Amino acid sequence: MRSVSVGLLQPQDIDQAFPLIAAELPFLSRHQWRDLANKLIPLTAENDGGILIARSENGYLTGLCLYWRVPHGWPSQALLAENFAAMDMMDPAIVVEAMTAALTRIAQRSGCETIRAWVPSSRGGLMNSLLANGFRAEGAMMNLSVQPSGLPPLG
């Protein structure tokens, strides 16, 4: 059986991970990815967020997802995982399985009671893999894009 290891993105892996994030966020430039990754990597020290990467037994990056801790009712927390990329030629499901196990460990250590995964509706294969790993579909997430106004915050 093939194996996949999952760990936190390290600074030396940022450029190698770019094709994975670019598959999920094609509008993101390499420079923007470096900025984002460099902002998220330090969050792992406080268990507030980070970037998981999956690596094949040959050392190639085969998966990636961004995650962070978010409020989930009061007083509980949830781990939000998004921008999943599972790029394994033979079986992307093993990448999702390994990343789900890693997210579960992170959630447990962070005191989170649930993991929420945001998956675009066009990613049916990914959704099926997450369902097979214990996730359940609950409603739909709706997004509204807004342009920052430049005005000071309310309050």
Half-sphere exposure of 2 (CA within 13 A, CB side): 18
In a domain, 33, yes or no: yes
State percent of the chain over pLDDT 70. Answer: 83
**How many CB atoms are closer than 10 A to CB 121?**
8
| Dihedral sign from CA coordinates of 45, 47, 50, 55 | positive
Q: What is the pLDDT of residues 53-81, one digit of tens each?
A: 999 998 999 999 999 888 877 667 888 99
As a whole number, the mean pLDDT across the chain is 84
In a domain, 147, yes or no: no
How high is the pLDDT of residue 124?
61
In a domain, 121, yes or no: yes
Domain range for 11 is 4-132
User: Based on the structure, what is the number of domains in the chain?
Assistant: 1
In a domain, 102, yes or no: yes
Q: What is the pLDDT of residues 117-134, one digit of tens each?
A: 887 766 667 888 888 888
**Range with the poorest average pLDDT among 31-35, 82-86, 87-91, 128-132:** 87-91
In a domain, 65, yes or no: yes
In a domain, 26, yes or no: yes
User: What's the whole-model pTM score?
Assistant: 0.82
Specify the CATH number for the domain of residue 95: 3.40.630.30
How high is the pLDDT of residue 90?
76
